[in-house]
């Protein structure tokens, strides 16, 4: 395999697993601009081709989920403005999890908007230390970012409310200690739709699931995460990366006129089952390797 092809293959693997962000920086497919669009109700996509970012527009201001890489805020801003909203109206900033490809832009967005940063307890020290307290990547410079102060510490089941919209934070830890899956209800065409934005169920290469002295209950946290994800009612399936829910393919259908393109309860179930199987396989592999 030619070196360039090799990098591409590695990057593709990385893309599927949300792994080392150095590849994210090198992989244009992650950061290429993508047209912003309305998913349902007051929920919009304002991310790049793979790094998802979600905007929720309420009469009392905007909520943004995921600030992505340090280089992402100008792109997110452009998407928000293209949709006709004011970037400065972002009142609350949330994240899927405290990895550099989802939260490195936070300090910049907070500086520009004055948004309140609300983060799940397990990820608070990571975002406030700029990644240095991450259980897996703390010592890796490429995984670090500008620290940002957290205004509100979230706990499992907490809600974030603004202008009549209610988002619920589900602790789905493992990938990070505070990985958060966000849910909300939208009404579209008179129909109530349950929205699930998956934080990340992926086991990154190098993650120690067995005898992890830094994060002893990592495997139990993943198991709990899959219990939670299996139980969530889901009509609209979304996630921290577009690749989780085949965004490019669904967007093409949406653009061609299929306004139900993002309604995919079966796809959600299949994705969760697939990721749970991948976790179990890796857990067994590591358990066997110990003997
Ligand atoms: Zn991640």
The span from the CA of 241 to the CA of 270, in Å, is 16
Sheet holding 54-58, edge to edge: 37-40, 43-45, 54-58, 61-65, 90-94, 116-120, 152-154
CA of 153 to the centre of ligand 1 (A): 20
CA of 36 to the centre of ligand 1 (A): 22
Q: Which residues contact 191 (CB under 8 A, 6 or more apart)?
A: none
Residue 130 φ/ψ, nearest 5 degrees = 65, 30
CA of 217 to the centre of ligand 1 (A): 18
Q: Is 192 helix (H, G, I), strand (E, B) or coil?
A: strand
Q: Is 10 helix (H, G, I), strand (E, B) or coil?
A: helix
CA of 84 to the centre of ligand 1 (A): 30
CA of 276 to the centre of ligand 1 (A): 16
CA of 96 to the centre of ligand 1 (A): 9
Query: Exposed e or buried b for every residue in 99-137, given b needs 16+ CB within 10 A?
Result: bbbbbbbbbbbbeebebbbbbbbbbbbbbbebbbbbebb
Handedness of CA 135, 153, 105, 19 (dihedral sign): positive
Phi-psi region of 163 (alpha: psi -120 to 50; beta: other; left: phi over 0): left
The neighbourhood of ligand 1, an ion, using CB within 5 A, equals 18, 99, 200
CA of 257 to the centre of ligand 1 (A): 32
DSSP for residue 241: B
Q: What angle, rounded to 10 degrees, do the helices at 265-290 and 218-231 form?
A: 160
Task: Please give the chain's pLDDT, 291 residues, in tens.
Answer: 333 333 343 444 444 444 444 544 556 778 899 999 999 999 999 999 999 999 999 999 999 999 999 999 999 999 999 999 999 999 999 999 999 999 999 999 999 999 999 999 999 999 999 999 999 999 999 999 999 999 999 999 999 999 999 999 999 999 999 999 999 999 988 999 999 999 999 999 999 999 999 999 999 999 999 999 999 999 999 999 999 999 999 999 999 999 899 999 999 999 999 999 999 999 999 999 966
Q: pTM to 2 decimals?
A: 0.92
CA of 256 to the centre of ligand 1 (A): 31
pLDDT value of residue 8: 40
Helix (H) or strand (E) holding 13, with range, is helix 3-17
């Amino acid at each position: 395999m030619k070196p360039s092809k090799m990098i591409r293959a590695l990057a593709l693997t990385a893309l599927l697993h949300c792994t080392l962000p150095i590849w994210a920086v090198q992989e244009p497919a992650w950061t290429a601009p993508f047209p912003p669009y309305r998913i349902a109700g007051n929920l919009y996509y304002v991310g790049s081709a793979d790094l998802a970012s979600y905007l929720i527009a309420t009469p009392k201001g905007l909520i943004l989920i995921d600030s992505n890489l340090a280089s992402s805020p100008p792109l997110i801003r452009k998407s928000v403005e293209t949709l006709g909203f004011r970037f400065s109206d972002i009142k609350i900033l949330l994240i899927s999890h405290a990895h550099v490809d989802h939260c490195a832009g936070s300090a910049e967005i907070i500086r520009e908007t004055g948004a309140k940063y609300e983060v799940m307890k397990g990820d608070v020290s990571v975002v406030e230390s700029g990644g240095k307290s991450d259980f897996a990547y703390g010592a890796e410079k490429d995984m670090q970012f500008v620290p940002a102060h957290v205004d509100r510490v979230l706990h499992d089941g907490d809600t974030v409310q603004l202008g009549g919209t209610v988002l619920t934070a589900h602790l789905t830890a493992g990938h990070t200690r505070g990985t958060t899956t966000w849910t909300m209800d939208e009404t579209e065409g008179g129909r109530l739709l349950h929205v699930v934005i998956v934080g990340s169920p992926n086991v990154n290469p190098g993650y120690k699931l067995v005898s992890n002295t830094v994060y002893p209950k990592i495997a139990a946290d993943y198991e709990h995460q899959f219990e939670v994800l299996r139980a969530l009612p889901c009509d609209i399936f979304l996630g921290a990366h577009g690749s989780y829910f085949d965004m490019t393919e669904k967007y093409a259908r949406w653009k061609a006129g299929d306004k139900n393109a993002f309604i995919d309860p079966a796809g959600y179930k299949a994705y969760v089952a697939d990721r749970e199987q991948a976790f179990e396989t890796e857990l067994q592999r590591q358990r066997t390797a110990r003997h």
